[in-house]
Structure 1
Amino acid sequence: MRETMQNDAFIIKVLSTANTIGKILLTSGAETYRVEEAITLVCRRFDLKSESFVTMTCVLTSAKKKDGEVITEVNRIYSVSNNLNKIDRIHKILLDIHKYEIDDLEKEIKKLQIQTVYKKKVLLISYCFSAAFFSLLFDGKFRDFLVAGVGGVLIFYMAYFANKLKLNNFFINTLGGFLVTIFSSFATKLGIISTPSYSAIGTLMLLVPGLALTNAIRDLINGDLLAGTSRSIEAALVGSALAIGTGFALFTMSYF
């Protein structure tokens, strides 16, 4: 009985660790097929035959014991972001997976979970200069560069407080499109810039779902139709939210 309990505990720990790795990858922006491959690799390292199923909202892994009993681990996904650093860190761990025992692997993953990659100030500066240089990329002038930079700061704080309030992505992107267009339009009214187009487009690029669309195509090519379709719809909804917010802002500014 004791051996059985220890065996069960070991299998549960392996499944939990593998699913946690899958959850980190998925919430950091990895493709679903890559998540499934990572989970399978971890389970195989500890001689565990497993089957995993990953969608945009769930990571599910099952393993069969020698007596035929099936143990299943399920993790619910509530939000997805972009964190390529975590994907890279886990990729490096998986390359050396043969060096890890389960307890060591579990500790490494827990450290990765709580790790803060960039400080708030660094992210703020990144938002500012990303939006500013995007405006130059779209043939904007120096004043458009400055206005777009301030717009990037505005988007950063909007997203920061919206995430604290746990607002959904559709509302966040609608609000973002509205605020950016209103801000650029007021800058035009004040004579700072000649047209709101360049600064608004440059700032809106921060909200464009490029990674989601890329992953959707890769999932569809790989045959993961459910995940690919889900990501495509997500990208379309985000694009629609930006268009709605921008359109409403332009409609509002037409009265001024």
Structure 2
Amino acid sequence: MADERHINLAVYVALLAGKILIENGSNMERVNDTMNWIAKNAGLKNFQAFTTLTGMVASASNQTSTQVTAINRRANDLTKVADVNELSREFGSGKITLRQMKRQLEIIRFRNDSTPVWLQCLAAAILSISLMVVFTGDRQDLAPAFIIGGLSYAVYLVINQHFTIKYIGEFVASLVIAILAILSVHLGLAHQADNIIIGSVMSLVPGVPLTNAARDLVSGNLISGLTRAIEAIITAAAIGCAIVIIIRLM
């Protein structure tokens, strides 16, 4: 019974670590390596795990019981990814026990260490003007791009906070970007709406999912790679469709 409880606990901890990694933007190769590392250092034999972006299944030591966990949300919090990796290394070196790691993982999962909204909007505004200059060379529309980039990202955050429908945040924020950019040109406050739009949408572009999709495909995780690629394509389509709609109407 003691061995069975240990096996079940070790499988649960491995699944919990993998779940936190997936929920916070890790690529699937890191997820699999971390779970296998935990299982190995916990003394599990024949550890097997099937991991996808929406759920995971794992078992070990030829036990008849298999543990399953669902993944219902995904975000990009690389701090939590780094914390899980550090915990797995501490467990592997014997600094913490399996039960201590379980408690620490549960704390990490439910910890709210998100960046303040005002700081996220400020970062989006700075990113907007920086990439507008890099991509277009336009230095005349810095002020409009700064304001529109920050304001549109605030809209994006508010939409995602109140709605669970994916991609609607990117769509509405892109509508705001296109409307404000065109209006600013019509009112004589800016010179090139296209340049402002190019800079402002960059904070909405799914860079992390695209990178992880490429890494998953290269590492052989075809299901996760294709899923992430499709998500990134749909996000890009939502952004593009919103801007095209406003351009056509205005």
| Cα distance between partner residues in 1 of 2:44 and 2:152 | 46
Deviation for aligned residue 1:185: 0.8
Which among 48, 53, 63 is matched to residue 51 of structure 1? Answer: 48
- What's the C-alpha RMSD, in Å, of the aligned pairs? 1.9
Asked if 1:31 corresponds to 2:1, the answer is no
Moved over 6 A (4+): none
Structure 1 unaligned segments of length 5 or more: list them: none
**Residue deviations 1:24-75, cap 9 Å, x none?**
11121111122111111111111113211111211222223xxx43332222
Which among 74, 78, 83 is matched to residue 72 of structure 2? Answer: 78
Q: Which residue of 2 aligns with 1:193?
A: 190
Is the Cα contact below 8 Å between 1:52 and 1:62 reproduced in 2? yes
Judging changes above 3 Å, is the alpha-carbon distance between structure 1 residues 54 and 104 closer, same or farther for their aligned structure 2 residues?
same
Q: Which residue of 2 aligns with 1:158?
A: 155
Deviation for aligned residue 1:147: 1.7
TM-score by length of 1: 0.88
TM-score by length of 2: 0.90
Is the Cα contact below 8 Å between 1:143 and 1:192 reproduced in 2? no
| Cα distance between partner residues in 2 of 1:107 and 1:228 | 31
Is the Cα contact below 8 Å between 2:159 and 2:168 reproduced in 1? no
| Cα distance between partner residues in 2 of 1:189 and 1:73 | 59
**Residue deviations 1:58-93, cap 9 Å, x none?**
1222223xxx43332222222222222222222222
Which among 60, 81, 86 is matched to residue 63 of structure 1? Answer: 60
Q: Which amino acid aligns with 1:172?
A: G
SS at match of 1:122: helix
Q: Which amino acid aligns with 1:111?
A: I
Is the Cα contact below 8 Å between 2:171 and 2:242 reproduced in 1? yes
SS at match of 1:146: helix
SS at match of 2:66: strand
| Cα distance between partner residues in 2 of 1:155 and 1:54 | 35
| Cα distance between partner residues in 2 of 1:71 and 1:43 | 16
Judging changes above 3 Å, is the alpha-carbon distance between structure 1 residues 84 and 15 closer, same or farther for their aligned structure 2 residues?
same
Deviation for aligned residue 1:143: 4.6
Q: Say which is worse superposed, 130-139 or 31-40, in terms of deviation.
A: 130-139
Is the Cα contact below 8 Å between 1:134 and 1:205 reproduced in 2? yes
Which among 174, 177, 181 is matched to residue 177 of structure 1? Answer: 174
| Cα distance between partner residues in 1 of 2:63 and 2:11 | 14
| Cα distance between partner residues in 1 of 2:64 and 2:116 | 43
Is the Cα contact below 8 Å between 2:25 and 2:76 reproduced in 1? yes
SS at match of 1:53: strand
Is the Cα contact below 8 Å between 1:173 and 1:241 reproduced in 2? yes
| Cα distance between partner residues in 2 of 1:93 and 1:252 | 53
Deviation for aligned residue 1:150: 1.6
Q: Which residue of 1 aligns with 2:107?
A: 111
| Cα distance between partner residues in 2 of 1:20 and 1:233 | 26
Q: Which residue of 1 aligns with 2:16?
A: 20
Asked if 1:10 corresponds to 2:10, the answer is no
Q: Say which is worse superposed, 110-119 or 14-23, in terms of deviation.
A: 110-119
SS at match of 2:167: helix
| Cα distance between partner residues in 1 of 2:169 and 2:118 | 21
Judging changes above 3 Å, is the alpha-carbon distance between structure 1 residues 144 and 167 closer, same or farther for their aligned structure 2 residues?
farther
Structure 2 unaligned segments of length 5 or more: list them: none
SS at match of 2:43: coil
Q: Which amino acid aligns with 1:34?
A: R
Deviation for aligned residue 1:131: 1.7
**Residue deviations 1:141-160, cap 9 Å, x none?**
44522222222222332222
Q: Which amino acid aligns with 2:59?
A: S
